[in-house]
Amino acid sequence: MHILGISAFYHDAAACLLVDGELIAAAQEERFSRRKHDPRFPRQAIAYCLAEGGIGLDAVDFIAFYEKPFLKFERLMETYVAFAPRGFRSFVRAMPLWIHDKLFQKRMLTEALSALGAGERVGERLLFADHHQSHAASAFFASPFCEAAVLTMDGVGEWATTSIAIGRDNRIEVIKEILFPHSLGLLYSAFTYYTGFKVNSGEYKLMGLAPYGEPRYRDVIRDQLIDLKADGSFRLNLRFFDYCTGLTMTNERFHELFGGPPRQPDDALTQRHMDLAASIQAVIEDAVLALGRAAAADSGLRTLCLAGGVALNCVANGKLMRSGLFDDIWIQPAAGDAGGAVGAALAAFHQHLGRPRPHRSGDAMNGAYLGPAFSDDEIAARLTAAGARFEMMEETALIDAAAEALAGGAAVGWFQGRMEFGPRALGNRSILADPRHPEMQRTLNLKVKFRESFRPFAPSVLAENAADWFDVRGASPYMLLVADVRSEQRLHPSPEETALSGFDRLNAPRSTIPAVTHVDGSVRLQTVDAAVNPKFHRLIARFKALTGCPLVVNTSFNVRGEPIVASPEDAFRCFMGTDLDALAIGNAFLKKTDQDASLKHDGRNAFEPD
């Protein structure tokens, strides 16, 4: 049984292939098109998934799409009617797009799939899942749990913005929903917009900015913008928002409430913006904890699955994990719309067809390593064609060379095995560095990633050593939980350092691993298991043998505005456009000093800023 899952036409188009209930391949279209958050029909991602499965599209039994376009159109129409005559300008702009493209997505899907060789009667093989059904299925059916509460939180699908469900075996039953326009995702996006970041892209920047501020506006938000009840239900005060009827997220009432117009992207970030970020982050954490309590009470279960864009808020996830409401929490690593492709396929297999879940010891995501891989012969041929100068090594020698470079203060590109699915680099398409280096965060941000200096980096730590360095419960394989650095590794700031505020706090050492410790003493943690990613584990273990430190800085292999690299050519271009010192692709090792100087370029403006 072959099922192709697709998400497309809004944000982060992706495809996956399910074979007899097992996830064989999954990838976002952006990785192939090199257009970040590419929403277009995932032609190249589909081609990759089919190639990985060794089949043509005509051999696929069902094609599952991650939402129902007609219900989304119904929500759009009812919203405009409810708010008429306000929003007419937005209505006039949206309708031609919906009528021409989105309303007839089944026809568009059929035509696009036919062009890829789907064969006859492709329309009869198309299935459509509800948006939140796709998210919930991606969380529960891919989890290691036989039964669990399932909490989905995002901007909006067709109507639902938040849902609580119960998953048992091969069934998911939704027991509570909150509907548009009341949405935690849209509330957070409103502050993303107001603080000058790009909606549906910059929310993680807002989360990273929050620890620099104080939640001075928390009560204002709770009193004026959101009525949050103890049972997790909430309503937004729509008088302060423009997303229902206008072309922006916020309106003049919102701006007056918070003391001025939205920040422009090129304007300086002030303490006020940091305090706004801290405040909305605190409110989101309040809401997630309230919803977690409701999910625990309504389900009576001690395991929880999370999905939807809000589930990428790893700070809130960490607080939910530490709350004690659940014994274990599993978060879909592709929690946003890309993961909807996986959920649609799993919902088709288990709920539509009634097939049982396979027995497995872990989750179904295979460490999220579901994208393309390249053999050493392919890597050598591609690098040679690109003009690269490299040395092919045995694996042990390559690991030694990379670990020694890291220990010597180098920034190393690490391109290995299958590409990750989802927004996080988990050790196969990563930039690595020494976390002990006090200037490494600034160096990587400004000279390698070409992004804001305040942005934090994550540590990848040997799973067996994680509890010695961080206050963490269990594993965090997908970098979706925040934990605190243990007190033994913390440094005690001087009175002068304690008095610092805003970005000046970056200059105060916080721990023995300053490159990965955020200003509040927290980290966004990945635990690395030898059974899941043996080569990455071996590299970190070798770094530990050299330095005594069982972790490395891990950030995604890309520059600002660029999708994570997918091919050896992508990696080499990024390497030559940045201040990376070394690059390991498969068992090929490259030093910057060995490269043809004419191939160097400035990667700073190669992509549109995100």
pLDDT in tens, 465-499: 999 999 998 899 999 999 999 999 998 877 777 77
Q: For residue 159, give the nearest of 136, 189, 195, 131 by alpha carbon.
A: 131
Residue among 290, 243, 268, 311 nearest 87 (CA) = 243
pTM (2 d.p.): 0.93
* Closest residue by Cα to residue 423 from 337, 506, 527: 337
What pLDDT sits at residue 374?
98
């719309």: which residue's tokens? 337
For CA atoms 217, 219, 224, 227, the dihedral sign is positive
* Tokens (6 digits) for 166: 């119960």
Higher pLDDT, 121 or 310: 310
What torsion, rounded to 10 degrees, do the Cα atoms 187, 188, 193, 198 define? -130
Of 555, 564, 577, 562, whose CA–CA distance to 386 is shortest? 577
Q: Is the pLDDT of residue 80 over 80?
A: no
Six-digit token string for 150: 């399932």
Q: Are 145 and 302 in contact (CB under 8 A)?
A: no
For residue 256, count CB atoms less than 10 angstroms from its CB and return exposed for 0-12, middle for 13-18, buried for 19 or more: exposed
pLDDT of residue 194: 97
- H or E stretch covering 572: helix 568-576
- Biggest alpha carbon–alpha carbon distance for the chain: 74
Q: How many CB atoms lie within 10 A of CB 324?
A: 9
Q: Are strands 328-331 and 303-307 parallel, antiparallel or unpaired?
A: parallel
CA neighbor of 153 nearest in space, from 326, 342, 313, 368: 313
216-275 pLDDT tens trace: 999 999 999 999 999 999 999 999 998 876 668 899 999 999 999 999 998 999 999 999
Would the pLDDT of 97 be above 70?
no
pLDDT for 246 equals 64
Residue length of the chain = 610
Give the pLDDT score at 492.
81
The per-residue pLDDT for 100 is: 52
Q: How far apart are CA 323 and CA 316, in angstroms?
A: 11
Is 11 annotated in the active site?
Answer: yes
Q: How far apart are CA 299 and CA 294, in angstroms?
A: 8
The answer, yes or no, to whether residue 550 has pLDDT greater than 80, is: yes
Confidence band for 10, pLDDT divided at 50, 70 and 90: confident
Asked whether residue 81 carries a pLDDT value surpassing 70, the answer given is no
d(CA 377, CA 373): 12
The DSSP H or E segment spanning 149 is strand 147-153
Q: Is the pLDDT of residue 383 over 90?
A: yes
Catalytic residue among 11, 131, 437, 537: 11
Q: What is the pLDDT of residue 111?
A: 85
pLDDT tens-place string over residues 506-540: 777 889 999 999 999 999 999 999 999 999 999 99
Beta partners for residue 554, in sequence order: 432, 458
Does the pLDDT value for residue 292 go beyond 80?
A: yes
Read off the pLDDT of residues 405-420 as tens digits, 9 standing for 90 and up.
999 999 999 999 999 9
Mean pLDDT of the chain: 92
Rg over alpha carbons for the chain, rounded to the nearest Å, is 24
Q: Which range, of 122-131, 187-196, 369-378, averages the lowest pLDDT?
A: 122-131
Q: Work out whether strand 226-228 and strand 458-462 pair parallel, antiparallel, or are unpaired.
A: unpaired
pLDDT beyond 80 at 583 = yes
Residue 25 CB coordination number (10 Å): 24
Q: Please name which of 248, 79, 70 lies closest in space to residue 179, comparing C-alpha atoms.
A: 79
CA angle 182/290/344 to nearest 5° reads 60
